[in-house]
Structure 1
Amino acid sequence: MSKKFLSVLAVTLLSFTVIVSGCGTQSSASSSGSSDQSTASSGDIKIGVPLPMTGSEATYGKDMENAIKMAVAEVNAKGGINGKTLGTVTGDDACDPQQATAAANKLVSEGVVAIVGGYCSGAVVPTLTIYNEKNIPYIVEAANSSKITDENPGNTFQINGTAVHQTQKAVELFKKLGAKNVAIVEQGDAYSSDLAKQTEAAWKAAGNTVVSHDVTTKGEQDFSSLVTSLKSKNTDLVFWTAYYADGALLIKQLRQGGYKGAIVVGDGSSDPKLIQMAGAAGEGTYVLSPPVAEFLPTAKQFADAYKAKYGQTPGAYAPLAYDGINLLADAMKRAGNTDGKAIIKALIETKDFQGLAGKVTFAPNKTLQESNFIVLQIKNGQFVLQ
């Protein structure tokens, strides 16, 4: 009995140890946030890549990471930077401010000399000073809230059009569509709120009417009361400024509820999944979009290579992600070294750098001198350039 008891006890303790070890691993992964989600590629010069690799925006993150890795491989194939190869370290920010901060600290600890990436503005803003304190240049490829511009500590360069640029394009489109009573719907995050507020101010300044400015909750499923309210206000255009997952649902419920007016969505919804998720209700929806490869004559070779490598067409931000690495490589070559201050100086001096998405010259606030936004419309289940 004693030996049997000891045997049972030993097995029990071993099982307990295994269980505790497993929980410990899970706990570590959870508490470290993006740290355990990091992936790296070998190279002499480490480039940090903060992107959402998990969560609702992970599709965008993976698409941008793919394009970044393609650009890195091409730079290395051409001899790298002054004889040294590039390597990447991806940190999962999950489009979450807290996890983004953990990812940023992890990337800094990895010894990265520059940062490229940044999809969600809300995840970018809290990391700006972390990189700046180490004089690490940051090329923001997608996020475009004016908060990034306003809080730019000096090391951050935005190669996507900003909320100011997008607002200008939105107002132009609203006028073209003959809109009078515009309703704006956002989700309260840094990106959608900024775009919503700027658009409202610009539309009113042009002598027009904003009949309502509503804030919904991320993941909200029932928009019926909002639809009823918008219809009662004789709304002839609804502008959704947040992301496609919830935007598609709002579009469906607007049409199911009998709303007949125009629907416009911001660049956070410029993904083919919007079409899939909205279905027939999405027909006719206008999309403010970054320069998509499909509509860029300069990006055909890139798009073909991307599809051959990854088995899918590049997403909305793939060209900008690809451009970010090539812009950084160009700045490093001009700087002559990998010193952060030297690279920042070279980026400031960039003039007419030719990327897939267009030429890059920075304004004094380190945003694009000229907008690169385009307008698409969903027709017959696909995006069509307007």
Structure 2
Amino acid sequence: MIGLLTFAVAGCGGSSTPAPAPAPEGEATGGGEETVSFDGQLKIGFMAPMTGSEATYGKDMENAAKLAMAEINAKGGVLGKELVMVTGDDACDPQQATAAASKLVSENVVAVVGGYCSGSTLPTVKIYADADIPFVIVAANSTRLIDENVGKAFMINGTGLHQGEKAVELFNRIGAKKLALVHQGDGYSEDLARITQDLWEAAGNEVVAMEVVNKGEQNFSSIVTSIKSKNPDVVYWTAYFADGGLLIKQLRQGGYTGDIVVGDGSNSPQLLEIAGQASEGVYVTTNPLVEYMPVAKEFIDNYKSAYSQEPGPYSALAYDGVYLVADAIERAGSVESAGLIQALADTPEYQGLSGVISFKDDNTLEQSNFVILQAKGGKWELAE
């Protein structure tokens, strides 16, 4: 825990210097006045969508991970070695993710941080496990990942079960009795829809529709007609923002007046832009955002200074993921895989930017980190 707290001070309560420019190999600058010398490098893999429809999320996550590495390196690195990032682009596509993961393995990374889309993260869990490389999964949260895990992957975002429970809590709060679910058939959105269905029906409520749409769909008229005919109190979209924004707009244009809720894959300002006025009042079940975390003010300032933009919804998780790996290496005293994996499993309760992180026996979070936001005036606001 000592090592983790030391790193946390560097990230949350120390120098406000933003991520420094890349230094020559073997050196790092600490605020422009001091040069830190290193005894070699440690490669950390980072995997997220750098291309494709979810690239905005991926780039934001990469930025946050780079910021964490820069802060750690400015304080002397890990075991005297410089952290170096090797990025793999999974494009939220399982086939490309498989190739990207294999490439990271060939780069001899000591750990991997990342994973946004559950569908593309799923096939990589075995690849890293077979190579004895610990994988800190920072965003992907399908419960299918738990089934694939053989003890070498660690999920620091709440699972689909956590999110389903939060969604049901919201449905009860708004007085809903009849629910319509819409997903895209991928590992993340179908998993969340099925979990939510089971929880909702177990509580004695009714699921009146379970609709499936193709990714990239532009015309939701048949879905809107079907949903309206079944008169649900609430519609829960469990997939991603690009298509979710269009569905919301077309639901309202088609005359649906009930509540609309979206899952964390749609937690983006872009969903609000796509949906326009139709987004007013829409809820989202999501991981905690840095703008609602007092402890994250310095991180936000540093991120904006380094990248000239606001951090996104998964920035805190990506940032925490790097610090967890760094701390585990320090506590293990080496990058030997068995010791590093055990050190991650033994992580004591850590108050990261994203919340308290400690793991159950299945390497998922001990406690849920999900919150509820609501769209008001074109932006998300905390609804609880």
TM-score (norm 2): 0.89
**1:127 and 2:153 are equivalent in the alignment:** no
2:241 aligns with 244
Residue number among 113, 118, 124 corresponding to 1:116 in the alignment: 113
2:303 aligns with 306
- Higher radius of gyration, 1 or 2: 1
Between the aligned partners of 1:185 and 1:279, the Cα distance in structure 2 is 20
Deviation at 1:251, TM superposition (A): 0.1
Residue number among 286, 289, 294 corresponding to 1:289 in the alignment: 286
Q: How many percent identity over aligned positions? A: 60
**Which amino acid in 2 is paired with 1:273?**
Q
Deviation at 1:372, TM superposition (A): 0.4
Deviation at 1:265, TM superposition (A): 0.1
What SS does the aligned partner of 2:288 have? coil
What SS does the aligned partner of 1:252 have? helix
Deviation at 1:298, TM superposition (A): 1.0
**Which amino acid in 2 is paired with 1:190?**
G
Residue number among 322, 325, 350 corresponding to 2:322 in the alignment: 325
What SS does the aligned partner of 1:70 have? helix
1:266 aligns with 263
Of 348-357 and 65-74, the range deviating more from structure 2? 348-357
Of 296-305 and 243-252, the range deviating more from structure 2? 296-305
What SS does the aligned partner of 1:263 have? strand
2:365 aligns with 368
Deviation at 1:195, TM superposition (A): 0.1
Between the aligned partners of 2:318 and 2:234, the Cα distance in structure 1 is 32
Unaligned segments of structure 1, at least 5 residues: 1-40
Residue number among 193, 198, 206 corresponding to 1:209 in the alignment: 206
Which structure has the highest helix share of the two? 1
Between the aligned partners of 2:276 and 2:250, the Cα distance in structure 1 is 11
**1:78 and 2:75 are equivalent in the alignment:** yes
* Moved segments of 4+, more than 6 Å: none
What SS does the aligned partner of 1:179 have? coil
1:222 aligns with 219
2:92 aligns with 95
RMSD (CA atoms): 1.0
Deviation at 1:307, TM superposition (A): 0.9
Please give the per-residue CA displacement for 1:272-297, whole angstroms capped at 9, x wherever unaligned: 11111111000000011111111111
TM-score (norm 1): 0.89
2:331 aligns with 334
Deviation at 1:266, TM superposition (A): 0.2
2:158 aligns with 161
Deviation at 1:354, TM superposition (A): 2.0
Deviation at 1:341, TM superposition (A): 1.0
2:356 aligns with 359
Between the aligned partners of 1:120 and 1:323, the Cα distance in structure 2 is 18
Unaligned segments of structure 2, at least 5 residues: 1-23, 26-39
Please give the per-residue CA displacement for 1:348-377, whole angstroms capped at 9, x wherever unaligned: 111111210111110110000000011000
Number of matched pairs: 346
Higher relative contact order (CA 8 A, sep 6+): 2
Deviation at 1:73, TM superposition (A): 0.3
Please give the per-residue CA displacement for 1:44-79, whole angstroms capped at 9, x wherever unaligned: 000011110000000000000000000000011111
What SS does the aligned partner of 2:65 have? helix
**1:234 and 2:231 are equivalent in the alignment:** yes
